[in-house]
């Protein structure tokens, strides 16, 4: 009887909504965290480079590329050779 | 010390403007000096919900660009003398809102009010970021629905990373305001429940505003629901939320219009 009625009743959907959100947001939070990490890295790398070389912000590029399981951190610095000051 | 509150959500149409007006009016009713600021440049609506649309002369952009003084742009509420509105402009030029200008206006408002409530535009663009930038407290308005919860999660991340407080390494107080909630549907398992949303977003709950036709009725007449129908379910829910904002500990309930009706009838018979 119960089974017969439930055949006509629509199944509750809120559980599915919650599960889908939990999975999606755990991914989105992780990638937002990585975005934050890249920003922190960029700022700190810039600060280190600025101690020794005069560079503009846009001459330093920091990015992380996903390659399957691993990620590659790429740092690209354009150095104006003539203005380089040697570390003491 | 003045408190700056941003009412934000990411997703559009979830009840930010309704909530800004209702919370602002309820705060003013409890004796606080309140200003509600419309940050939705180009799509201003707070003036309409507050019933002040015909009294707008100058707006936020005029003040920022130096075409008007703040005191010229502020509109005093007709019902509550300690409630003011700073309307948004209807300009389509989004760049008219500058970071430096907003900082100046907020600093000036802090001087004369106890509470500065900022009604954020939807989205995660400049306007929304500027609205949250100086906030001490964020009210994250969320509907019990997947896309709204996802966008709220995104906004919570931005509150923790892009605001002035975050930049200073301080915490920004965040509260969840669950709006358009339908307890019967949640009970049947057809709508995310309060517990579901809290578990996912994990920020403290400020209040649960039930879905109610009183909200539309209040907007029709241009009066915050807390003033227009003070004993209605959404008004009582907003008033409780305001008591919590002021630091009171109030038991969490989902007010219902049916109880409100009984109370009204009863009240009338007694009178
Ligand atoms: N508790 C409620 N019950 C019923 N209707 C509601 C409730 N809260 C808000 N609404 C309705 O939802 C609609 C959107 O509300 P509102 O304008 O406050 O949202 P918003 O988040 O400010 O939108 P936008 O992102 O466009 O600025 C309005 O029609 C309003 O009347
Ligand atoms: Mg709005």
Q: Which ipTM did the prediction report?
A: 0.83
**For residue A44, what are the contacts with CB-CB under 8 A and spacing of at least 6?**
none
pTM: 0.85
The model's pLDDT over A6-37, given as tens digits with 9 standing for 90+, comes to: 666 778 899 999 999 999 999 888 887 777 77
Q: Is the CB of B211 under 6 A from ligand 1?
A: yes
What pLDDT is stored for residue A72 in this prediction?
Answer: 81
Comparing CB atoms, the residue among B146, B154, B189 nearest residue A20 is B146
Q: Is the CB of B157 under 6 A from ligand 1?
A: no
Inform me whether the C-beta atom of residue A22 falls under 8 Å from chain B C-beta atoms: yes
Identify the burial level of B81 via C-beta atoms within 10 angstroms of its C-beta, where 0-12 means exposed, 13-18 middle and 19 or more buried.
exposed
Rounded to an integer, what distance in angstroms lies between the CA atom of residue B124 and that of residue B127?
8
Distance B19 CA to ligand 2 centre (A): 9
The model's pLDDT over B128-150, given as tens digits with 9 standing for 90+, comes to: 999 999 999 999 999 999 999 99
Inform me whether the C-beta atom of residue A56 falls under 8 Å from chain B C-beta atoms: no
Which residue of chain B has the CA closest to A13?
B190
* Beta bridge pairs of residue A9: none
Average pLDDT on A38-60 reads 82
Is the CB of A29 less than 8 angstroms away from the CB of B191? no
Rounded to an integer, what distance in angstroms lies between the CA atom of residue B105 and that of residue B68?
12
The model's pLDDT over B47-87, given as tens digits with 9 standing for 90+, comes to: 999 999 999 999 999 999 999 999 999 999 999 999 999 99
Q: Residue B131 phi/psi, 5° resolution?
A: -65, -35
Report the largest interatomic distance among the alpha carbons of chain B, rounded to a whole angstrom.
57
pLDDT above 70: percentage of residues in chain B:
95
What pLDDT is stored for residue A77 in this prediction?
Answer: 84
B118: region left, alpha or beta (phi > 0 left; psi from -120 to 50 alpha): beta
Is the CB of A18 less than 8 angstroms away from the CB of B161? no
Question: Is 90 exceeded by the pLDDT of residue A68?
Answer: no
Rounded to an integer, what distance in angstroms lies between the CA atom of residue A16 and that of residue B189?
10
The model's pLDDT over B94-112, given as tens digits with 9 standing for 90+, comes to: 788 999 999 999 999 999 9
The model's pLDDT over B221-244, given as tens digits with 9 standing for 90+, comes to: 999 999 999 999 999 999 999 999
- Could you tell me if B68 and B120 are in contact, meaning their C-beta atoms sit under 8 angstroms apart? no
Comparing CB atoms, the residue among A12, A21, A36 nearest residue B200 is A21
Question: Is 50 exceeded by the pLDDT of residue B40?
Answer: yes
Q: Is the CB of B219 under 6 A from ligand 1?
A: yes
What pLDDT is stored for residue B267 in this prediction?
Answer: 47
For tokens 């952009």, what's the residue?
A: B61
């Amino acid at each position: 009887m119960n089974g017969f009625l439930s055949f006509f009743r629509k199944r509750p959907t809120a559980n599915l909504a919650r599960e889908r959100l939990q999975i999606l947001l755990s991914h989105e939070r992780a990638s937002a965290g990585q975005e934050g990490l890249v920003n922190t890295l960029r700022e700190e790398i810039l600060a280190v480079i600025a101690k020794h070389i005069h560079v503009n912000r846009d001459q330093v590029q920091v990015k992380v590329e996903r390659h399957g399981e691993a990620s590659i951190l790429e740092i690209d610095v354009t150095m104006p050779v003539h203005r380089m000051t040697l570390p003491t | 010390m003045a408190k700056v509150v941003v009412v934000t959500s990411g997703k559009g149409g979830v009840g930010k403007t309704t909530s800004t007006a209702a919370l602002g009016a309820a705060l003013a009713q409890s004796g606080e000096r309140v200003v509600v600021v419309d940050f939705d440049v180009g799509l201003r609506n707070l003036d309409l919900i507050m019933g002040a649309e015909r009294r707008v002369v100058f707006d936020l952009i005029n003040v920022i660009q130096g075409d008007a003084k703040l005191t010229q742009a502020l509109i005093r509420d007709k019902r509550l003398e300690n409630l003011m509105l700073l309307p948004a402009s209807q300009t389509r030029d989004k760049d008219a809102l500058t970071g430096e200008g907003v900082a100046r206006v907020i600093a000036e408002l802090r001087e004369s009010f106890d509470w500065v409530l900022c009604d954020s535009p939807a989205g995660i663009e400049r306007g929304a970021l500027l609205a949250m930038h100086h906030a001490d407290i964020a009210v994250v308005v969320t509907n019990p629905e997947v896309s709204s919860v996802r966008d709220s999660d995104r906004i919570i991340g931005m509150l923790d990373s892009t605001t002035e407080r975050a930049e200073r390494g301080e915490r920004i107080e965040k509260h969840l305001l669950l709006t358009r909630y339908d307890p019967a549907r949640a009970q049947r398992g057809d709508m995310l429940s309060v517990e579901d949303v809290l578990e996912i977003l994990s920020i403290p709950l400020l209040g649960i505003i039930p879905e109610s036709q009183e909200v539309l009725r209040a907007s029709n007449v241009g009066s915050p629901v807390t003033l227009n129908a003070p004993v209605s379910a959404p008004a009582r829910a907003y008033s409780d939320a305001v008591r919590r904002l002021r630091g009171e500990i109030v038991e969490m309930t989902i007010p219902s219009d049916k109880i409100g009706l009984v109370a009204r009838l009863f009240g009338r018979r007694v009178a």
